[in-house]
Amino acid sequence: MTHARINSGWIASSLCALLFAGCIPAVPPDLISQIENIDQDLIALGAPQTAPEEYADFARQWAALKIRAQAADDLIRWPWESSDFEQQLRTLHTEGDKTVARLTDRQAEQRRTAEATLSRLEQRFQSLTSHVSSFGGHLVLGDKPAQTDLLLRQARTYFNDKHYSRSLHTAEQANRALHIQESALTNELKRYADHEQISRWQKIAAHTVEWSRTHRSTAILVSKADRKLTLYKNGRKMLSYPVRLGFNGIRNKQFQGDGATPEGRYRVTGMRGKGETQFYRALVLDYPNAEDRRRFHLAKRTGKIAPTTAIGGDIEIHGAENELMAQTLGCIMLDNPHMSELFSLVETGTPVTIVGATTEHNTIAQLLTGLRDHHEPPSL
């Protein structure tokens, strides 16, 4: 009898244990932690900022369900028993997953756009800087290149910190700065692509060559755009050398200290040999000539230059005091072996014509065409 009671107790206990073992928690813990992860992912993706409505909807549902989950933490149910609460959690999980996927795609797209925009701008800026340096036009742009550079560096910092939206915004500012820089350059250099101006330069260049032919003598022609000095004898091209100009040499000289190299028709008025110049050998030019003075006084009268400004002088074709120096204060500088050769072939009175360019396809005109072709207008 006692034995039978023990047996029935044991059976009851086993049955209860079996029944409880067959039960499952009313709130699946895995599901809760998965939704928690989705929430973290959404926040990491910046959903509150980039998809505020979608995130608010998710967060609202999640906050409400979480309270229910906490309340039902220790509840269990039969596996076959349907749970409306679990269904709601699963729906939220599915929706959240979809939002994460959508935002991941969106962020990847934003990253790609930012990277492409930034790389394109950096490339454009590098290309412009290198072209401008190649013809010594850096000074023409003032502090604009530095400002553009700073903006691009900022945009790159934001990009590296994964702030793609801010990176794009700063990149757009850099694009505007670059646009201003390109416009300033185009405006400053347009004379190098101006048909009428080039015709005038070609005319005085032809006149110099013709003078050399008719006087059976030497004449010098300097093209600033091509940075080239050509020596003519009897109207025929004799020698050609690369030259370095003033630090602002791409401009026409206006006043003392502007670093520009003058344009016009000059003559060699003095020859400084060994020991007479600090620049190896030098041919002194008659800058300022009558035309330079006329322009200078007009600029003063019209207020384009300050009344106290001087016209300057001592413009020479000279050798290099220091071979590493890339620019002059407004003169035309040759390598010493070339200067030596040139010095031996010319004499006082030799005409020297300095022009912006001799052809319409000069280096600067090509740069301007390139700028026009690759122009990328800033967004409004």
Q: Which residues bind other proteins (CB under 8 A)?
A: 39, 43-44, 46-49, 55-56, 58-64, 67, 136, 138-139, 141-143, 145-147, 149-151, 153-154, 157-158, 163, 166, 170, 246-248, 256-257, 259, 278, 310, 312-315, 321-322, 324-331
Structure tokens at 194: 């101006």
Q: How far is the C-alpha of 131 from the C-alpha of 364, rounded, in Å?
A: 9
Structure tokens at 131: 């072209």
E strand map for 202-340: 218-223, 228-233, 236-242, 264-272, 282-285, 316-318, 332-333
Between β-strands 218-223 and 351-355, what pairing exists: parallel, antiparallel or unpaired?
A: parallel
> Nearest distance from residue 14's CB to other proteins, in Å?
40
Q: How far is the C-alpha of 353 from the C-alpha of 347, rounded, in Å?
A: 15
E strand map for 115-243: 218-223, 228-233, 236-242
Total residues found in the chain within this entry: 380
Comparison of 170 and 358: residue with beta carbon closer to other proteins = 170
Comparison of 17 and 146: residue with beta carbon closer to other proteins = 146
> Nearest distance from residue 57's CB to other proteins, in Å?
8
> Nearest distance from residue 345's CB to other proteins, in Å?
25
E strand map for 169-281: 218-223, 228-233, 236-242, 264-272
Q: How far is the C-alpha of 38 from the C-alpha of 58, rounded, in Å?
A: 10
> Nearest distance from residue 22's CB to other proteins, in Å?
31
Longest dimension (CA), the chain: 148
Structure tokens at 244: 């370095």
Comparison of 139 and 239: residue with beta carbon closer to other proteins = 139
Comparison of 124 and 318: residue with beta carbon closer to other proteins = 318
Comparison of 61 and 83: residue with beta carbon closer to other proteins = 61
Comparison of 50 and 217: residue with beta carbon closer to other proteins = 50
> Nearest distance from residue 69's CB to other proteins, in Å?
12
Whether omega for the bond prior to residue 48 falls within 30 degrees of 0, making it cis, is no
> Nearest distance from residue 376's CB to other proteins, in Å?
22
Structure tokens at 285: 């030019």
3-class SS at 197?
helix
Q: How far is the C-alpha of 12 from the C-alpha of 189, rounded, in Å?
A: 101
> Nearest distance from residue 321's CB to other proteins, in Å?
5
Comparison of 160 and 344: residue with beta carbon closer to other proteins = 160
State the amino acid at position 65 in one-letter form: L
Comparison of 198 and 285: residue with beta carbon closer to other proteins = 285
Structure tokens at 298: 């007009």
> Nearest distance from residue 116's CB to other proteins, in Å?
20
Comparison of 39 and 226: residue with beta carbon closer to other proteins = 39
Structure tokens at 60: 């609202």
Q: How far is the C-alpha of 353 from the C-alpha of 360, rounded, in Å?
A: 18
Per the listing, tokens 């004379």 go with 191
> Nearest distance from residue 312's CB to other proteins, in Å?
5
